[in-house]
Amino acid sequence: MAKIQLEHVEKYFGDVHVVKDLNLAIEDGSFTVLVGPSGCGKTTTLRLIAGLETITSGRIVIGDRDVTALEPKDRNVAMVFQNYALYPHMTVADNIAFGLMARKTPQDEIERRVHRAASMLDIESLLKRKPKQLSGGQQQRVAIGRAIVRNPNVFLFDEPLSNLDAKLRVEMRTELLKLHRELEATVVYVTHDQEEAMTMGDRIVIMDGGVIQQVGTPREIYFHPRHRFVAGFIGSPAMNMIEGRLEDGEFISSHFRIPLDGPAFEGDVILGIRPEDIYLPGSLPAERETPVLTAKVEVIELLGARAIVPLLVNDLSMRAVIDERHLEQVQEGGSMSIVFDRNRLHLFDAANGERIE
């Protein structure tokens, strides 16, 4: 219902520079996830959009309105807080109706909209209760109900699922996505859980130290991380990072060498390879396999259909994810042959961490 633009946004808390020259265009109707390590400025960015913090410099536009100087109430945004921020002394119905009452909406209209929101969230039977009498998941729904009842242009979520248990969290993810489709609203969603980011966002914004490292679809972020930080942050188990040099198109580390074709770069680099892109020889088309390396198997951590296998390749610790079907060829304490998928190798400039194509 509204696009959001952040232009050269800066935020200082006293002397602390928390958000640094942030430029971001969030498309109308998109589900955009802000993700990054703790303290990187996600919450602050969200609160800047909501107007709960004033920006030090820069400009924020929602729809076609410059809202930089507007109060939160004049921005037509709704926010769902991590701890839900329900009013403990009000019933669920009053909690949901609060924003409408504050805007002096007629009583019958309030009732209609509260009931519609409640039925969307399946909490109609809870309307007369107080927050204390609700489970965490139910409180979460009330908090969301309070946001949707107002028909805002933009929904802002700050880690809304982090207080729920694992199972409920997965369920609520699906529900939130369904809700997003029904409401066709613009959603900005903060999380520090990269899995949540990957499954929910149609666009992901990765932040680190108050700076945006990459904006893209989950696929782009996963397969083409633009920066060493992004590559390391997204994916579990984390990408293997190997320090080395590029000389005449060959990657040289103290542990092994891999001839590459393509990059014209010369100098210190970091080679990234995801654990799931490590294979037993013969399982990939031949042209995609790198030269065979011998690795010592330390242990096997079986996860079910797959196993995480910590390896030592000439003293270099790596992790591989091996399909359960191939596990019989692998023994703890034994050694195995491995190859990497050429198409999935990532190279980063060691000097600034940027991707080398």
Ligand X SMILES: Nc1ncnc2c1ncn2[C@@H]1O[C@H](COP(=O)(O)OP(=O)(O)OP(=O)(O)O)[C@@H](O)[C@H]1O
Binder of other proteins out of 4, 79, 221, 239 (CB under 8 A):
79
In this chain, which stretch among 36-44, 97-105, 167-175, 275-283 interacts with other proteins, using CB under 8 A? Answer: 97-105
Q: In whole angstroms, how close is the CB of 126 to other proteins at the nearest point?
A: 13
Q: Which is nearer to other proteins, 187 or 212 (CB)?
A: 187
Q: Which is nearer to other proteins, 45 or 240 (CB)?
A: 45
Binder of other proteins out of 20, 21, 81, 115 (CB under 8 A):
81
Q: Which is nearer to other proteins, 54 or 174 (CB)?
A: 54
Binder of other proteins out of 12, 57, 89, 249 (CB under 8 A):
89
Q: Is 145 an interacting residue with respect to other proteins (CB under 8 A)? A: no
Q: Which is nearer to other proteins, 150 or 274 (CB)?
A: 150
44 binds, among other proteins, Mg ion, ligand X, none (CB under 5 to 8 A by kind): ligand X
Window 34-93: residues binding Mg ion (CB under 5 A)? 43
Three-state secondary structure string covering the chain: CCCEEEEEEEEEECCEEEEEEEEEEECCCCEEEEECCCCCCHHHHHHHHHCCCCCCEEEEEECCEECCCCCHHHCCEEEECCCCCCCCCCCHHHHHHHHHHHCCCCHHHHHHHHHHHHHHHCCHHHCCCCHHHCCHHHHHHHHHHHHHCCCCCEEEEECCCCCCCHHHHHHHHHHHHHHHHHHCCEEEEEECCHHHHHHHCCEEEEEECCEEEEEECHHHHHHCCCEHHHHHHCCCCCCEEEEEEEECCEEECCCCEEECCCCCCCEEEEEEECHHHEECCCCCCHHHECCCEEEEECCCEECCCEEEEEEEECCEEEEEEEEHHHHHHCCCCCEEEEEEEHHHCEEEECCCCEEEC
What residues line the site for ligand X (CB under 6 A)?
A: 13, 16, 18, 36, 38-44, 192
51 binds, among ligand X, Mg ion, other proteins, none (CB under 5 to 8 A by kind): other proteins
Q: In whole angstroms, how close is the CB of 77 to other proteins at the nearest point?
A: 6
Per-residue interface string for the shown chain with other proteins, residues 23-62, x marking contact by CB under 8 A: ---------------------------xxx----------
* Residues making contact with other proteins (CB under 8 A): 50-52, 68-69, 71-74, 77-79, 81, 83-90, 98-99, 101-103, 130, 146, 150
* Residues making contact with Mg ion (CB under 5 A): 43
